[in-house]
Structure formats: C-alpha cells, structure tokens
Amino acid sequence: MLRQIASKRCKRTQAAWHRVHAPGYHDALVLPVSEHSRFPTGAGFVHDFSRIPVRGGRNDAPVAFSTAVPGQDLPSPMPMREAAASDPAEREVPVQVLPPESGGACVTDERLPARQTGVMPQQGLVHDGFEMLIDWREEPPTCRCTCGEYRQYVRGHLIVNGRRVGKRLFDGVSLEENTFHEDADDHGAPYGHRIGYSNKADDTFADVGPSLSTRETACSYRGHDTPGVSVPPGSQVDMHLYFKGQAYDRCRRVFGPVHRWESVWDGPVP
C-alpha cells in the first residue's frame, strides 16, 4: 500500500514537471499542492494559480500592457512651462478637436492682459481689473478663426483678517498657493472656451463691425476679469494672485506664449 501511494505521488510530481516545461508555460518547477495546504486555516478563500499557463500572444509572443486612460490626450509642450507635473496645461483635453487638415489658429494680436487697473480698495471692496484680448485671421485652409481659444490660470491666496478665503475655480477645484488651476468667473465658467458656453459681458467671441459670425467662428476674443474680495470696511486683506494667460489652438492642440501678471494688495480696506 505505501509503495502504491509513493508511486502515485511520484507520477503526479513528474506530470507537473512536464507540464511546466511544455510550450506556453513558465520555465519553473511547480510542485503539487495537497488538499490540506491549498487553503490555509483562517485565510479565507484563496485561488490556487500554480498550474495555470501564462501564454503570450500568437506563437507565444510577449503581451504588451498599457496603463493609458482611453481618450486621454496630452497636448504639445507649452513654452516656458513651470511646475510641469502640476500645471493644468499639462493635462488639458480640449472639448472639441478639429482634424489637422482643417488648419489652425493664426494669432494677429494678443494683449494679455490689457488695461490692467491695479488693485483698488474702496468701500469694502478689494479688486483688480484687466481685459484679455486676442485676434485671429481667417485664411482657409491654413488659418481658421474657429481654432483659436484662450486659457487663463491662477494661483495664490486671499487672506482676510488672518483667515484664508476659499475661491472656487473651473471644474470645482479650489485656489491653491503654489499650483496653477484654470480660472473661472463667479458662476464657475472658464474664460475663452468656444464650445459649450454662451457669450456674456466678460467672455465674448465676436467680430468687430457688422457680422453674422457666432461664438464658434468669430475671429476676436474679448474677456474681462475683476478678481478680488468683498469685506467689511476696516478689514485687513492680504491678496496675492498670480495669473497666466495663453492663446490656445484647439485644432492643433498647442499653446501660445505665456503671459504673466499679478494682482497684489496687503493692507486695510476703507
């Protein structure tokens, strides 16, 4: 009886040895696992994968795995990038991308910012004011106004009487001291996106003079921003906001030159 049991165990060991050396199996010795040792006491249910073949593709070719997220595109590098790992432009995914053969955005003039007033504290208000102006030209098939957009990013802080004041930006993120995030108006809408938004006083795509152009096709962008905070008179306000503005070509998915400016106030408010 003992010889028969030993003989059966030997045959099972030899069979396992031949299986792992067969085509499509890893070159490793897999010893049989007893019924009592397969599921250790108290460990719960455990799958035993010791005898499952690991194959490649056809003819056992290596299989490549990707961790990329479907549909996640990265734009071309942006000039003068800083803090690339946290820069929102690094992760920018346009709402609508036109085919490359449709041309791209050809900027003729950009003033970022234009007519900045500087911070003016008055009657419980501390705010700056500036405009964002970009013009493109329409010369198909090379230049298409519809490809041109604007992107604005901000970082910094707002502190009132020693307490930090939160500010919600585009896509629900909050203002941070050291990381740029895409800016938004008081309603959470971003500046300079053509698709999905309507023209309003502080964010307009239009053509100068009589024209039937729409937000999607106009050759001029006119934006206006008044960053600041409303506080009781006599409050102490520390406001330091760093802005970054760029023209954006949504057809070619590239950014224009970086323009930087700041809004600063540190003192009492009348």
Q: Tell me the pLDDT tens digit for each residue of 159-177.
A: 999 999 999 999 999 999 9
Longest dimension (CA), the chain: 104
Q: Vertex 188, ends 182 and 190: CA angle to 5°? A: 45
**What residue type is 142 in one-letter code?**
T
pLDDT in the model for residue 57: 33
Of residues 79 and 212, more confidence is placed in: 212
229 within 8 A of 129, measured Cβ to Cβ: no
* Phi and psi angles of residue 219, each rounded to the nearest 5 degrees, phi first: -105, 5
Pull the structure tokens for residue 55. 């194959």
For 1-24, the pLDDT digits (tens) are: 545 544 544 444 444 434 334 433
pLDDT in the model for residue 73: 34
Do the strands 130-136 and 107-114 form a parallel or antiparallel pair, or are they unpaired? antiparallel
* Residue 268 confidence (pLDDT) above 90: yes
pLDDT category at 47 given cuts 50, 70, 90 is: very low
* Residue 77 confidence (pLDDT) above 60: no
High-pLDDT (> 90) share of the chain, %: 57
pLDDT in the model for residue 179: 97
What is the sign of the dihedral through the CA atoms of 79, 83, 85 and 88? negative
Q: Which residues touch 108 (CB under 8 Å, ≥6 apart)? A: 135, 136, 137
Distance CA 208, CA 134 (A): 12
Q: Determine how many CB atoms are found less than 10 A away from the CB of residue 136.
A: 26
* Residue 239 confidence (pLDDT) above 80: yes
171 within 8 A of 164, measured Cβ to Cβ: no
pLDDT in the model for residue 56: 32
Distance CA 44, CA 39 (A): 7
Distance CA 267, CA 237 (A): 6
Model pTM score: 0.64
pLDDT in the model for residue 244: 98
Which of 21-35, 126-140, 256-270 has the least mean pLDDT?
21-35
pLDDT in the model for residue 142: 94
DSSP string, the chain: -HHHHHHHHHHHHHHHHHHHTSTTS-SS------TTTSS-TTS------TT-----SGGGPPPP---PPTT---PPPPTT--STTT-GGGG---S----GGG-B--EEEEEEEES----EEETTEEE--EEEEEEE--BTTTB-GGGEEEEEEEEEEEEETTEEPP-B-GGG-B--SSS-EE-B-TTSPBSS--TT---BTTEEE--SSS----TTT-SEEEEEE--EEE--TT-EEEEEEEEEEEEEETTTTEE---EEEEEEEEEE--
